[in-house]
Structure 1
Amino acid sequence: MKNEEEFKKALRNKEVPLLVIDQKWHRLFAIHGKTQQIVNLENNVNDLLKKQANLKKNHKNLKKVKNQLMKDIVDNMVSSMNENDYDVKDKILTDNKRLIEEINEKLEECEDQLIELPKKISRANEELMIYSMSYCYDKMHVNSSEAEMLANKIKELRVELKKNIIKKQNRDINNREIYSYMHDILGHDIIDLFDLHDDYEETNESK
């Protein structure tokens, strides 16, 4: 029986595919299904992937908003101003700068998480792989035992089949001998007398 450390050691320097999107991995559980532990670990990887996708989307949207705010600042700076709209534009400029600072903080936080997430996904995926290896180890041994048992049953059935074939042949031979003997004495009347089918005589005479 292998333990977790042995599986971890075997995975060193190995490139493990992202299991949740690997159809070959999913097919490993086609017969017996996934254990609850594997389902939980799979969900954990999926949750991390969803979080990564959402962060990338948020990061893209934040940059888009930031670029628009910066464009607005430039537009306000180069546009003609008079004393009447100076205060309004100054307020817009101040608000835009404040929003850009807030966005920069969110972008930094988002980027920090995006740096860490691949490591978390890799660790979660490796943990899922280790439990998958343990599952496969157990299933292969169970399958081997069941296959051996089934092979023995098949062997027994083949022996039984051969015996039954021989028994059937013996019964057919015995019937032909009985029919032949009685036919020699009774002739065609044996069909009705022994409650035989009409084609019985033709079948036996052709053998």
Structure 2
Amino acid sequence: MKEKNLDKFERALEGKKVPIVTLDNKWYLLFDNNLKTFTMNSLEKKLNKLLGRQGQLYNDLKEMEAAKKTLMDKILENMNPNEDEVYGNVKNKKLDASQKLIRDLNSKMIDSEKELEELPNTIDTVNKMLLIEGMRICYNTMKDNKLKLTEIDEWIEKVRMQLKENVIRKQEIQDESNLMYSYMHDILGFEIVDLFDMYNEALPEE
């Protein structure tokens, strides 16, 4: 059932632009360590690793472009004609070495550019998987919270009824004591009742 739901959500998110969730601090505030599943932790690590790789490739390409430009400048320098055969041979060796380095750089740059082209789709896929797992946790938690709130509401309603009954009961008891005290006064008079009051603490509230 869970896999079917995941497939449904994956289809629903197809073509949708989803922000990279691990780049938002509120994503980490949304989940504590008790809520995170093993799957979620694994996907977070994988996504962050992919993002790190993407950043590294951009930096590598910039460095390789700069290195290539430097080598091209050296090639231009070594291409100047020189009558000195020995010096010319040295230049030719430097030229060959620079050209080989450029070929290596071009190969590496092609590989890096290809990886960079593929990374966004991989990042998007992992990001959506993480989002779906996170939302599954959130909605399950909210579902559990709804059940707990229902239980609390039922408890409050029960206590409210008991409170109402006890308030009525309290008033009845108080009225009984007040009526009894009033009859005592009527029968015995204030002076006699006051004498008894001095030796008793169970007086009704006025």
Give the TM-score range, shorter chain: 0.7 to 0.9
- Cα distance change on mapping 1:61 and 1:186 into 2, 3 Å: same
Letter in 2 for 1:194: N
Q: CA deviation at 1:48?
A: 0.9
1:187 to 185, 194, 197: 194
- What does residue 44 of structure 2 align with? 42
Change (3 A) 1:26 1:175: farther
Aligned to 2:160: 158
Following superposition, the deviation at residue 120 of structure 1 comes to 0.7
Taking structure 1 as reference, are residues 23 and 176 closer, same or farther at Cα in structure 2, changes over 3 Å only?
Answer: farther
Structure 2: unaligned runs, 5 residues or longer: none
8 Å contact from structure 1 (residues 20, 26) kept in 2: yes
Letter of the 1:187 counterpart: D
1:58-207 correspondence runs (5 A): 58-78=60-80, 82-83=84-85, 85-170=87-172, 172-173=174-175, 181=184, 184=190, 185-187=192-194, 190=197, 193-194=199-200, 204=205, 207=206
Structure 1 unmatched ranges of 5 or more = none
Task: Render the CA deviation track for 1:116-175: whole Å, top value 9, x for unaligned.
Answer: 111111111122223234333433332222221121112122223333434444555556
Q: Tell me the CA shift for residue 37 of structure 1.
A: 1.2
The residue type equivalent to 1:131 in the other structure is E
**8 Å CA contact retained: 2:82, 2:88:** no
> By how many angstroms is 1:27 displaced?
4.3
Instruction: Summarize the Cα distance change of 1:132–1:150 in structure 2 as closer, same or farther, 3 Å threshold.
Output: same
Please say if residues 35 and 137 of structure 2, whose CA atoms lie closer than 8 Å, have aligned partners that are also in contact.
no
Query: Structure 1: how far apart are the matches of 2:34 and 2:170?
Result: 41
* CA displacement 1:50-71 (0-9 Å, x = unmatched): 1111111111111111111112
For 1:168 and 1:78, how far apart are their aligned partners in 2?
112
Q: Quote the sequence identity (%).
A: 32
Q: Where do 4+ consecutive residues of structure 1 move more than 6 Å?
A: none
Q: Match of 2:54?
A: 52
RMSD: 3.3
Question: Deviations 1:91-117 (Å, cap 9, x if unpaired)?
Answer: 222211111111111111111110111
Out of 71-80 and 145-154, give the one that drifted further: 71-80
- TM-score under structure 2 length normalisation: 0.77
Give distance in 1, aligned partners of 2:132 and 2:149.
25
Deviation per CA, 1:30-77, whole angstroms, max 9, x where unpaired?
595211111111211111111111111111111111111112222333
**CA contact 1:41–1:127 (8 Å) conserved in 2:** yes
